[in-house]
Structure 1
Amino acid sequence: MPRKSLEVRREEILAETARQLQERGLAGIRALDVARALGVSTGLIFYHFDTMERLLAATFDHAAQRDLEQLQTVLDGPGDALGRLWAVLDLYAPTGSAAGWMLWIDGWSAALRDDQLRAVVRRLDRRWKRAIAALVQEAAAAGALGTEVDPAGAATRITALLDGLAVQRLVRGDALSAGRLRSWVRAYARAELGLAPG
């Protein structure tokens, strides 16, 4: 059986680590479990990632890249700036089982103590805010917004609301439905952007 390339093996390790993070959370993951699931030694895991901290940071970075690819697809998609803004906010919000959000909530907590992970979380956060601010700016330039807006401030406030509601939705279970979350975010964003309700 031919040996897998370094890139393929690295990709497998990242994918399995992400799967286990979603299943077990940061507190429950071990390199040994990742290695066993892949049928390899922990030595191979640490050959690719010197430490567990680097493996976790690389896994979050890998997950962030997938999220950013989806973001870019929406940004490059059809429609006016306001329509694409609603699509970006829908993409940002937790839906379904929201497994990716569980990963990020875990990541935020760990980032308080892990510089490498903090850098990944900050980079992802800045990219989403820049994208939202750019769409707000584009919508304002097209005359679609009712008042003067601060695109960067609006992006920060809207994503802060989304982050808080996402935590509420995931931690408190069915206390907040996806539909209600979406409705509240849209209502807040409309007020923030000076748009009439509805």
Structure 2
Amino acid sequence: MSGRARRPVDARRDEILSATVTLIDRDGLASVRVSDVAAELSVSQSLVFYHFGTKDDLVAEALAHAVERDLARIDAAVAPADPVARMRGLLKVYGPTGTAIGWRVWIDAWALAQREPHVRSVLRRLDGRWEAALLQVVEAGVASGAFTCPDPGAAVRRTSALLDGLSVATLVYRTVTRTQLRAWVAAHVAHELGVEVEVLTPAR
């Protein structure tokens, strides 16, 4: 099958995923049904099942679709060669930004993941991708002498856990502002890497 012939199929899959993410963000992950997605797009349920097989498959791919934009920004942030510049770029996109739909869906999925192995597996894979990007930057900085960090893996896990907690406080409880989140995360990362926070903060 040619690439040209496949494009409408890919476009339809993206359309279904986008609709599913919209419904998850509006109604909650546990409440969304395949019939809801089909109704949102004015298509049959059989068409949705044709593209995704089961509801679990649809939900799993929708979760990945929701956070893919955030992960793409992270990939772009770690592109520079200098590890300090890479960390600055990473902190700039680190945590909820814009409408934060990826983060809201991500937080919603945590509760379901306690009982749904399929969802838990997807979250673990996506979280692993994020932590791998951060670990790569930390290890590069340690190797170059820019950072001092005796256990990069532990530092990354602590930083990731801090971000998760602050993101819940920001998006769910609304007791922490996004400005506070960024400042506190930057201070924590600076401490973990043995540098002054100003080193990781772009000049205004």
Alignment TM-score, normalising by the size of structure 1: 0.88
Q: How far, CA to CA, are the matches of 2:177 and 2:90 in structure 1?
A: 19
Cα pair 2:67 2:106 within 8 Å, conserved: no
Q: Distance in 1 between matches of 2:64 and 2:104?
A: 15
The answer to whether the 8 Å contact 2:149/2:192 transfers is no
Residue aligning to 1:169: 170
Distance 1:39 1:88 in 2: 40
Q: Which runs of 5+ in 2 are unaligned?
A: 1-6, 199-204
CA distance in 1, matches of 2:92, 2:99: 15
Residue identity over aligned pairs, in percent, reads 42
Partner residue of 1:67? 70
Counterpart residue identity of residue 84, structure 2: L
Q: CA deviation at 1:34?
A: 1.2
User: How is 1:109-128 mapped onto 2 (pairs within 5 angstroms)?
Assistant: 109-128=111-130
Contact conserved, 1:74 with 1:88, CA < 8 A, in 2?
Answer: yes
Structure 1 counterpart of 2:142, from 128, 140, 147 = 140
Q: Which of 28, 32, 43 is 1:40 aligned to? A: 43
8 Å CA contact retained: 1:14, 1:58 = yes
Question: In 1, are the aligned partners of 2:38 and 2:44 still within 8 Å (CA)?
Answer: yes
Whether the 8 Å contact between 1:82 and 1:136 is mirrored in structure 2 is: no
Q: Partners of 1:170 and 1:64 in 2: how far apart? A: 15
Which runs of at least 4 in structure 1 moved beyond 4 Å after TM superposition? Answer: none
**Aligned mate of 1:9, from 2, 12, 16:** 12
**Amino acid corresponding to residue 190 of structure 2 in structure 1:** R
Separation in 2, partners of 1:180, 1:166 = 11
Could you give the per-residue CA deviations for residues 97-126 of structure 1, whole angstroms, max 9, x where no partner exists?
322211000112211122221111111111
Distance 1:197 1:63, change over 3 A: closer
**Are 2:194 and 1:191 aligned?**
no
Paired with 1:18 and 1:91, the residues of 2 have a C-alpha distance of 21
* Backbone CA RMSD of aligned residues: 1.8
1:197 is displaced (CA, Å) by 4.1
SS in 1 for 2:93: helix
**Which residue of the partner structure matches residue 99 of structure 1?**
101
Over 3 Å counting, the alpha-carbon distance change for 1:148 and 1:172 in structure 2 is: closer
Q: How many pairs align?
A: 192
